[in-house]
Amino acid sequence: MKPVELITLFDLPQGQEGTVSSGGLAGSGDATDLELALRLFEIGFVDGERVRVVARGYPGGEPLAVRVGNTMFALRRFEAERVLVAPLRTGQVASA
């Protein structure tokens, strides 16, 4: 089985689903990134959770409307760039 390619949530195409990776957060590891990581974790961006980019703002693609489970969130670009996801192919089922 080939390794899963991780991308940021911001790079996930509109309408495509992915699963949040166990790495969870891309960033420098400073205090600001850790606060953001905790906030994203608290609202549901946890390992294995399915996410989908529902819509993008214009211009520039932000904010992103993102569905996490049964809840919709609006994320700014810098927030979405911190969440690492494994894209799901069409028809692929996420393993729980």
pLDDT at res. 45: 92
Domain boundaries, the chain: 7-85
Average pLDDT by stretches of 10, the chain with 96 residues: 80 95 63 86 91 92 92 94 88 52
Backbone angles phi, psi at 37, to 5 degrees: -60, -45
Domain 7-85 has CATH 2.30.30.90: yes
Among candidate residues 20, 19, 38, the one with its CA nearest the CA of residue 29: 38
pTM, two decimal places: 0.80
DSSP assignment string, 24-70: EE-S--SHHHHHHHHHHHHTT--TT-EEEEEEE-TTTT-SEEEEETT
Sign of CA dihedral 80, 81, 83, 89: positive
